[in-house]
Structure 1
Amino acid sequence: MTVPFSLTPLLQYIEQQHEPICAYYYDLDYLAQRARWISESLPQRVHFYYAIKANSDTPVLTTLAPHVHGFEVASLGEIHKARQASSGTPIAFGGPGKTQVELQGAIEADVELYHVESELQLVRLNALATKSGKVVKVLLRVNPRFDLPDATLQMAGKPTQFGIDQDRICDVLDSLPAYSHIRCVGFHFHALSNNLDARSHLLLVQSYVEVARSWQRAYGLNIEVLNIGGGIGINYTPGGAQFDWPYYCQEVERYLDSGDFDFPLAMECGRFVTATMGCYVTEVTDIKVNHGENFAILRGGNHHFRLPSSWQHNHPFQVVPVEQWSWPCPRPGVSQQEITLCGELCTPKDVLAKQVTVDQLRVGDLVLFDKAGAYGWHISHHDFLSHPHPHRVYLHDNHLCQIDSVIAGTN
């Protein structure tokens, strides 16, 4: 397993530390290159939004702002983060639980699009928009009734809290004239997460378009945009095939050029953008044998990096050997054996990889978890047991820096 960016700056930084190592490392130069590749591969009629729930750090958003059409957010806090990073980048506001306070804050922040998930959200948004004297643009988020491809996580196509049941959309469309300060400009579908098959995803997009066109014809709608959601995944299996982005973009362009519809599409991806730009590195603080199985205890765990236990997978990793050993005892370690990589929390669920074979692993070595730039730190329960937070280190313009200060040059 290899990461797609240089680890040299990170290792130089680690050499300067005196406490057990625990850090996130994000390569913003690599991220900018990846964002350009993603955006430039798409047809011009596809607006690409970054879903900031995947990683909402300000340096990440600032890096992405020049390369995306907009930011997709799911809370007022995320709206504030997006505006802090870029005052002019368009914002699309999703999420099933928008409160009055959040909707009011979104209006004040000049949010461009609202993904409306219920009739009550329409009522609230219209009342607040009327009071503010603004007409706001909305997309109706649909929970579809048709079959969906396999993916790690399914958020629609079955009973969930997301969107408006497809069978209820016609009633909502009939009610739109009653909302004087709402302008419905299209529909929003976001039904699944982490789909790895480009062909099945293309079929899903075609299903979205066909349903939207049926409503367009029936109601004479002027659809300004159809948001086809995200759901494009990252394969965390070492050596596993990744989503075929060039093929997908090529076929979307061919579909757009077919002339079957004239409205643009929008996408909102998070994991696909940022997962590969970062890693999570921790130090092995102990190795022991219990009931005949080997266990490595790490300085860190799922309070920092919850993704492996959340998705119940063995996260890909590599061992970075550290030769220094200063304790007055033999150095614990294993060679060519299975071992479970555990965190420091007081729960047996704090596992990042279970019974994986390693060539060699010793106390004091580093374990580097790959593809940790999305849904790692940002979905974790940071303060459980009040352990110190990991450092977050960024590489930008060939300088290694933490959030606030430059640490060292990397010439």
Structure 2
Amino acid sequence: MTANTPLLEKLAAEYGTPLYVYDLDGVDAARRDLFGALPESFDVFYAFKANPHVELVRALRTGEGPACKAEISSTGELAAALEAGYPGTDILYTGPGKTRGELARAIVDGVRLFSAESLSDLTHIGEAALAHGVTADALLRINSATAGASTSIRMTGTPTQFGIDSETVAEIAAQLRDVPGVTVAGLHLFSQSNARDEKALIGEFLRSIDVAAAMQEDLGVRLRMMDIGGGFSVPYAQAGARAQYPGLRAALEEKLDTTFPGWRQGEPRVAVESGRYLVGDSGTLLAGVSNVKVSRGRKFVILDAGINTFGGMSGLGRLLPVSVVVDTDGAGRATEKASLVGPLCTPGDILGREIEVPETADGDVLTIPNTGAYGPTASLLMFLGRPAPTEAVVRGDEVLHVSRIEHIRTPV
């Protein structure tokens, strides 16, 4: 067995595999690091899409230090946020496809801040607010005309469902300002994910601040808030540490002092958002070896965890590239080249091609680190009807919560 701690071995023996283990000490450390890298007055919105497990998102709200707020884009994520204790006033509702029913639910549950992707989206937000006798605040998401730093996922500079094209803002500014039931409170500038390095991250943030200044002029609205996005990096299913950003705070403070001199007094209030950075290295995936075979000279290690358990969206080329690197004990155990594949009846169920793994036999357990983000809920959970992986939440050696997502078909 290659699980690297007695606790992981115990949990795998008790609950079986595939098994995710999330350590809240890691979540706490990531939150401290991120807030520590930012100017003191910044807000941090946690992107629930990275991992909406209630125990993890609760940990990001409670404990020592500043609390994260919630960035959500569905009523399911809204329910998780409310269960974890987030008040509606600490929730930002985003996404290009918000339905009228979803908007009504969010308004009823106390959400008052929305990201608007278009004039029509803004109108829908206003209609939902008016129907319930309130006024909502909106951050206009901007699709900048130009792309900035290189990144694994680019969110601006091309035709897209995300955001209002920056070159059209001046033309439609009066319409945006005059939508009943909603006030244009600021801007949402999410342009990248998983920045290459600190220089790239800083460069993109500084460019977003310049875009915000230009959009404020085009809109004719004094910004009360701006969300300048994310891009904070952590290894994905490979060993390694979260990125550190020692120069970020000073760079942001200098730029904001010049471009928005009132920001230190909250005019505007500035926020960033992060998903994987806050939870990615808290998670470990334990995968059982079901079979080992050789085909035409190549070895295949067949696991009980595949793209139905981890990286399903990336397996379809939609999210992050899957190329896991398993822990190899560090105890001198012999390794070999093999492909890690899952249990599904599709040739696309591959977690790693010709990677270094410990010499492995049926019944062993492999440990895949840095899997706290984009795990079960970003996978093909229902494909072939296999059970969802078990998820255990721990703090150090204490087991706090163990659960599994169940697929239940209910009449409507």
Is 1:313–2:322 an aligned residue pair?
yes
Q: Output the CA distance in 2 between the equivalents of 1:238 and 1:253.
A: 33
8-17 or 127-136: bigger deviation: 8-17
Q: Residue in 2 aligned with 1:348?
A: 347
Q: Output the CA distance in 2 between the equivalents of 1:201 and 1:138.
A: 25
> Which residue of 4, 7, 13 maps to 2:5?
7
**Cα deviations across residues 206-238 of structure 1 (Å, max 9, x unaligned)?**
222112212323554221111111222223485
Q: Output the CA distance in 2 between the equivalents of 1:237 and 1:397.
A: 20
**Cα distance, 1:33 vs. partner?**
2.6
392-401 or 68-77: bigger deviation: 392-401
Structure 1: which 5+ runs fail to align?
Answer: 322-333, 406-411
**Cα deviations across residues 4-46 of structure 1 (Å, max 9, x unaligned)?**
xx833222222335x5x31000001221232123223321231
Q: Is the 8 A contact 1:49 1:68 kept in 2?
A: no
Is 1:171–2:176 an aligned residue pair?
no
SS at 1:252's partner residue? helix
Q: Residue in 1 aligned with 2:217?
A: 217
Q: Residue in 2 aligned with 1:287?
A: 292
**What one-letter code is carried by the residue in structure 1 that aligns with 2:354?**
Q
SS at 1:152's partner residue? strand
**Cα distance, 1:386 vs. partner?**
1.5
Is 1:48–2:39 an aligned residue pair?
no
- Relative to structure 1, is the Cα distance of residues 145 and 223 closer, same or farther in structure 2, using a 3 angstrom cutoff? same
**What one-letter code is carried by the residue in structure 2 that aligns with 1:30?**
G
Q: Output the CA distance in 1 between the equivalents of 2:28 and 2:172.
A: 40
Q: Is the 8 A contact 1:320 1:366 kept in 2?
A: no
Q: Output the CA distance in 1 between the equivalents of 2:36 and 2:48.
A: 20
The share of aligned pairs that are identical, in percent, is 28
Equivalent positions of 1:49-68 (< 5 A) are 49-66=45-62, 67-68=66-67
**What one-letter code is carried by the residue in structure 2 that aligns with 1:271?**
R
Q: Residue in 2 aligned with 1:331?
A: none
**What one-letter code is carried by the residue in structure 2 that aligns with 1:294?**
K
Q: Is the 8 A contact 2:177 2:183 kept in 1?
A: no
94-103 or 59-68: bigger deviation: 59-68
Equivalent positions of 1:229-248 (< 5 A) are 229-236=229-236, 243-248=243-248
- Relative to structure 1, is the Cα distance of residues 242 and 16 closer, same or farther in structure 2, using a 3 angstrom cutoff? closer
SS at 1:232's partner residue? coil
Q: Residue in 2 aligned with 1:394?
A: 393
Q: Output the CA distance in 1 between the equivalents of 2:305 and 2:403.
A: 22
**Cα distance, 1:68 vs. partner?**
2.9
Q: Between Structure 1 and Structure 2, how many residues are aligned?
A: 388
Q: Residue in 2 aligned with 1:409?
A: none
Q: Residue in 1 aligned with 2:360?
A: 361
**Cα distance, 1:335 vs. partner?**
5.5
**Cα distance, 1:294 vs. partner?**
0.6
TM-score where L is the length of structure 2: 0.87
- Relative to structure 1, is the Cα distance of residues 388 and 127 closer, same or farther in structure 2, using a 3 angstrom cutoff? closer
Q: Output the CA distance in 2 between the equivalents of 1:261 and 1:203.
A: 20
Q: Output the CA distance in 1 between the equivalents of 2:236 and 2:125.
A: 40
**Cα deviations across residues 167-226 of structure 1 (Å, max 9, x unaligned)?**
222233221343232111111111221113211221212222112212323554221111
191-200 or 6-15: bigger deviation: 6-15
Q: Residue in 1 aligned with 2:21?
A: 25
Q: Residue in 2 aligned with 1:126?
A: 126
**Cα distance, 1:355 vs. partner?**
0.4
TM-score where L is the length of structure 1: 0.87
SS at 2:399's partner residue? strand
- Relative to structure 1, is the Cα distance of residues 122 and 305 closer, same or farther in structure 2, using a 3 angstrom cutoff? same
